[in-house]
Amino acid sequence: MAADLQGKRVAILAADGVERVELEQPREVLDKAGARTEVLSLDEGEIQARENDLDPAGTFGVDGLVAEASVADYDALVLPGGTVNPDQLRVDKDAVSFVRDFVESGKPVAAICHGPWTLIEAGVATGRTLTSFPSIRTDLRNAGANVVDEEVVVDSGFVSSRPLLAPRPPHRAFSSCPGAAVCASRPAPHSAPYPAPTARDAPPRLAR
């Protein structure tokens, strides 16, 4: 996997309130795969992370402003969760526009937990098969998405995931896909084999 994403540039769009594990673990997987990850946000400086939505969990440095970012400069996009994080992104016109343009570009997009909220606001969830945190599934259905209760779903360039809780190795089906990050952490109450994701389409691959 180390060379699969070598030289690829991946945007991680997040704001204050991002669930720490849902930014940290995907970034670690992508970095180990050779990608260059950059945190984009609404303001310069740092964003405040949370654990289980409520507890302070440190900060992440911001690499660039989404208002100044260009879709052309990135090969893939990751949307971590946390309740407050996407709630801020979905009311910011620059963040919503960036997500909409990214999806329309056809490049891979990964959304975790509450991350699909921004997809709804961007008007790009319609007709997609997605999973998410249970509390936003009605929102997704109302936006025209086909919602399923599965750990990981791949659908036409989209990779969506339920909440990430504990680190586990990425599933092999995502070994050459930036959406591998979504599978980087899963609940692990026992040592059962890692479940295969549901694939409506082949796992999205970065353009070479």
Rounded average pLDDT over 116-134: 95
pLDDT tens-digit readout, 174-183: 334 455 444 4
pTM of structure? 0.81
Catalytic residue among 114, 128, 162, 171: 114
Looking at residue 53, what is its pLDDT?
87
Rounded average pLDDT over 35-53: 96
> Is residue 25 a part of any domain in this protein?
yes
What single DSSP character describes residue 185? B
Residue 180 Cα distances to 104, 119, 184, angstroms: 21, 19, 6
Where does the pLDDT of residue 1 fall: very low under 50, low under 70, confident under 90, or very high at 90 and above?
Answer: very low
Where does the pLDDT of residue 198 fall: very low under 50, low under 70, confident under 90, or very high at 90 and above?
Answer: very low
Which of 153, 179, 161, 157 is CA-nearest to residue 8? Answer: 179
> Is residue 4 a part of any domain in this protein?
no
**CB distance 160 to 110 below 8 Å:** yes
> Is residue 200 a part of any domain in this protein?
no
Distance CA 168, CA 48 (A): 24
pLDDT tens-digit readout, 137-189: 999 999 999 999 999 999 988 999 998 754 444 433 333 445 544 444 443 33
- Give the domain extent around 38: 9-185
Q: How is residue 163 written in tokens?
A: 């909440």
pLDDT of 59 higher than 80: yes
> Is residue 90 a part of any domain in this protein?
yes
Distance CA 106, CA 116 (A): 17
Give catalytic status of residue 114 as yes or no: yes
Give one DSSP letter per residue of 54-115, joined into a string. Answer: TEEEEEEE--EEGGG--GGG-SEEEE---SHHHHHHTT-HHHHHHHHHHHHHT--EEEETTT
pLDDT of 111 higher than 60: yes
Distance CA 163, CA 22 (A): 8
> Is residue 198 a part of any domain in this protein?
no
Length of the chain equals 208
> Is residue 99 a part of any domain in this protein?
yes
Looking at residue 165, what is its pLDDT?
59
Q: Which residues of 69-90 are buried (b: 16+ CB within 10 A; e: fewer)?
A: bebeebbbbbbbbbbbbbebbb
Per cent of the chain over pLDDT 70 is 77
What single DSSP character describes residue 46? E
Looking at residue 207, what is its pLDDT?
57
Question: By CB neighbour count within 10 A (0-12 exposed, 13-18 middle, 19+ buried), where does 115 fall?
Answer: buried
Q: Number of folded domains in the chain?
A: 1
> Is residue 203 a part of any domain in this protein?
no
Beta strands across the sheet bearing 9-13: 64-65, 36-41, 9-13, 76-79, 109-112, 158-161, 152-155, 198-199
> Is residue 195 a part of any domain in this protein?
no
The CATH number of the domain holding residue 49 is 3.40.50.880
Looking at residue 43, what is its pLDDT?
97
